[in-house]
Amino acid sequence: MEEKSYKEYLQHITTFIFDVDGVLTNGKVAITTQGELLREMHVKDGYALKTAIKQGFNVCIISGGSNEGVRLRLRDLGITDIYLSVHDKIETMDEYLDVYSIKRENVLYMGDDIPDYYVMQEVGLPTCPQDAVPEVKGISKYISHKKGGEGCVRDVVEQVMKVQGKWEIKIDANIY
């Protein structure tokens, strides 16, 4: 049986689920003298997420991390389904999908490391950044040409929205 191209899955995606560290960030943390962990996120990823929400896509964050600054940034983008300090990503994803009656085959999940491995096997379109670990790359139907924290989220969101005719170019200075 011939393997489907990842592009064949894009038309059916209704939901994006993302990990944080290594996907929305580059996976590095700066540590302040007070012990606070600081992360950087790419504004182009933020624009894509905000645009996806405006176009009616479901966006969910599932992360093992627990940084409140991350939660605030994601809420500012309009994301309401943010699950931090998660130990069982499959259980959390299943609860989320049940609440919104979402089918797994309509989910694009982007992860980068072993904690994402098993949950990625449960969705319609598992994807990863260019710098994901080999095990995650091995099960991904699409590997972004962008690294984590450097626009990989924008890459997959924009591709889905363009295929579905929902990526519009408008000048909106208030998007951020």
What number of CA atoms fall less than 13 Å from residue 21's CA on the CB side?
19
Retrieve residue 172's tokens. Answer: 């909106």
Q: Print the domain residue range for 74.
A: 10-163
* Interval 90-145: pLDDT, tens: 999 999 999 999 999 999 999 999 999 999 999 999 999 999 999 999 999 999 99
The helix/strand/coil state of 144 is: coil
Distance separating alpha carbons of residues 41 and 25, to the nearest angstrom: 5
Residue 2's pLDDT is 53
Query: Where would I find the H helices in 55-132?
Result: 68-76, 89-100, 114-120
Q: Is residue 72 included in any domain, yes or no?
A: yes
Closest CA to 53 of 166, 159, 142: 166
Residues present in the chain in total:
176
Q: Is residue 44 included in any domain, yes or no?
A: yes
* Interval 7-22: pLDDT, tens: 889 999 999 999 999 9
Q: Is residue 76 included in any domain, yes or no?
A: yes
The helix/strand/coil state of 105 is: helix
Distance separating alpha carbons of residues 98 and 27, to the nearest angstrom: 30
Q: How many domains does the chain have?
A: 1
Q: Is residue 1 included in any domain, yes or no?
A: no
Q: Is residue 136 included in any domain, yes or no?
A: yes
The helix/strand/coil state of 28 is: coil
* 3-state DSSP of 33-84: CCCCEECCCCHHHHHHHHHHHHCCCEEEEECCCCCHHHHHHHHHCCCCEEEC
CATH of the domain at 134: 3.40.50.1000
Q: Is residue 125 included in any domain, yes or no?
A: yes
Q: Please determine, for residue 63, whether its predicted confidence score (pLDDT) is greater than 60.
A: yes
